[in-house]
Structure 1
Amino acid sequence: MASDPFDDLLELENDYYKEGYDAGVADSTYAGMIEGKVFGVEKGYEKAAGLGKLHGRALVWQTRLSQSAHDKSRQSDAPGSSAVPRYGESEKLGKIIRNLGGFPDNTRLGRHIEALYSVTDGASISKDNSDEAVTGFDDRIARASAKAKVISNIVGEPLNPATITNSGIEDATGLQARH
């Protein structure tokens, strides 16, 4: 018996469905790789920026810790002597840090600040894209965040000052524990 001449016509919808499905799978595979790369760059930037902020905090805390010893030695100098910027800081940045005030000489605080500085140092971070390197980088971020919290508690300053502000009377918490 001869085949029906309309069989090809009746299977036309299924053929187009399969052709469209295969094209969609190929396109989504390529688009997924591009989106994955963009997502990876964004997350990597967020993590590196967070670690950079903590490193900057460590530098400022380190400068403020050594500021009291520097101020004592400067008081013994001649009254007309000018301060020389330290750590490659600009004159404006040095003035801002001096206005923040120094910390009391505390060896425990100094050890915590040095540990934060060494954990966030960019020169010692692996730049590989292996699972071990990424896990190590995430571990460094966690350790640096914990150190920064300890230091901020010791010095009595909030780690994120923007989150402390009260927006209304409902949000008021009363007296701050540390001033």
Structure 2
Amino acid sequence: MSTDPFDALLELENDYYQEGYEEGVADSTYAGMIEGKVFGIEKGYEKALELGKLHGRALVWQARFSEPKSSSQNAEEAANDEVSKSAAVEDLGKLVQTVRMLAPISKNTRLRKHVETLHVASDGRTVARSNSDEAVTEFDDRIAKANAKAKVISNILGESLNPTTSVNGGIEDATGLQARH
């Protein structure tokens, strides 16, 4: 049997299609991996930031308890725990002044227990840093637990948890115009 010399030309389009498909799969696999890593870093940062804010609230609430220990000693201990001493010394004066301007918290054992639980739950030093499913689930659970404790504490104190939160409405809300629907 003789082979037709034009068979290779007739299969040329299919060959290019298959080659392009294989290159596209390889490129999209690599691009997906990079996009997934970037997304993971962004989400991890957001979660860590939220946990850090909750931990900062716990430190401030601890410093506001009215007890023989002065708030400057509480702030100094918190600063020594959280950051290096040289960086803490610079900001310690500002922190002490800010905490002193806030109203002290009365001695309430239930409230103190809630604040201590929030402090422990939001402590970043005890969070697992692995990327396993169990560690991620535990991290999410800690954030949820810390958010719940912060809400309980803010309700007990009668303080707003997010005092600067504003409603993000549409342009009609900002300008006073009524939308026609």
Alignment of 1:1-179 (within 5 A): 2-65=2-65, 68-70=66-68, 84-88=72-76, 89=79, 90-163=92-165
Question: Do the aligned partners of residues 164 and 154 (structure 1) sit closer, same or farther apart at CA in structure 2, a change above 3 Å counting?
Answer: farther
Percent identity, aligned pairs only, is 63
* Alpha-carbon distance between aligned partners in 1 of 2:166 and 2:26, rounded to the nearest angstrom: 50
Letter aligned with residue 162 of structure 2: N
| Deviates further, 89-98 or 111-120 | 89-98
TM-score (normalizing by structure 1): 0.79
User: Separation in 2 of the partners of 1:166 and 1:107?
Assistant: 38
Deviation of the 1:3 alpha carbon: 3.3
Q: Matches of 2:166 and 2:8 in 1, distance apart?
A: 71
Give the AA of the match of 1:86.
N
**Equivalent residue, structure 1, for 2:82:** none
| Letter in structure 1 aligned against 2:94 | K
CA distance in 2, matches of 1:115, 1:44: 23
Superposed CA deviations along residues 39-87 of structure 1, whole A, max 9, x for unmatched, are: 111111111110000000000011112xx224xx77xxxxxxxx85533
Moved over 4 A (4+): 164-167
**Retained in 2: the 8 A contact 1:109–1:154?**
yes
User: How many correspondences in the alignment?
Assistant: 157
